[in-house]
Amino acid sequence: MTDTQKATIADRYASGETLRAIASALGVDKSVARRKVMAAGVRLRPRGRPAGPQMPCAVAECWSAARGEHGLCNLHRQRMRKHGDPRRERWPSLRERVEARIDRSGECWVWTGVRSGGGYGQVWARRRMRLVHRYVYEQLVGPVPEGLVLDHLCRNRSCCNPAHLEPVTTAENVRRGLNGVLRGAA
Ligand SMILES: [Zn+2]
Ligand SMILES: [Zn+2]
CA 93 / ligand 2 centre spacing (Å): 24
Ligand nearest to the CA of 58: 1
Asked whether residue 86 is assigned to any structural domain, the reply reads: yes
In this structure, are 25 and 98 located in the same domain? no
In this structure, are 65 and 20 located in the same domain? no
In this structure, are 128 and 168 located in the same domain? yes
Asked whether residue 102 is assigned to any structural domain, the reply reads: yes
CATH number for 171:
3.90.75
Asked whether residue 45 is assigned to any structural domain, the reply reads: no
Radius of gyration of the chain (CA): 31
Q: b or e along 104-119 (b: 16 or more beta carbons within 10 Å of the residue's beta carbon)?
A: eeeebbbbeeeeeeee
In this structure, are 10 and 67 located in the same domain? no
CA 41 / ligand 1 centre spacing (Å): 27
What is the structure's pLDDT at 186? 43
In this structure, are 86 and 104 located in the same domain? no
CA 91 / ligand 2 centre spacing (Å): 29
* Boundaries of domain holding 15: 3-39
In this structure, are 103 and 181 located in the same domain? yes
CA 92 / ligand 1 centre spacing (Å): 20
Is the pLDDT assigned to residue 63 strictly greater than 60? yes
Ligand nearest to the CA of 80: 1
Banded pLDDT at 93 (limits 50, 70, 90): confident
Banded pLDDT at 25 (limits 50, 70, 90): confident
In this structure, are 31 and 84 located in the same domain? no
In this structure, are 125 and 161 located in the same domain? yes
Asked whether residue 32 is assigned to any structural domain, the reply reads: yes
Ligand nearest to the CA of 164: 2
Closest CA to 71 of 84, 57, 85: 57
Is the pLDDT assigned to residue 163 strictly greater than 80? yes
Asked whether residue 105 is assigned to any structural domain, the reply reads: yes
- Specify the pTM: 0.55
Asked whether residue 153 is assigned to any structural domain, the reply reads: yes
Q: Number of folded domains in the chain?
A: 3
> Tell me: the pLDDT tens digits for 118-154?
999 999 988 899 999 999 999 999 999 999 999 999 9
CA 133 / ligand 2 centre spacing (Å): 10
Asked whether residue 46 is assigned to any structural domain, the reply reads: no
Which residues line ion ligand 2, judged by CB < 5 Å?
108, 154, 156, 159, 161, 164
CA distances from 173 to 95, 137, 158 (A): 27, 17, 16
In this structure, are 175 and 104 located in the same domain? yes
Ligand nearest to the CA of 60: 1
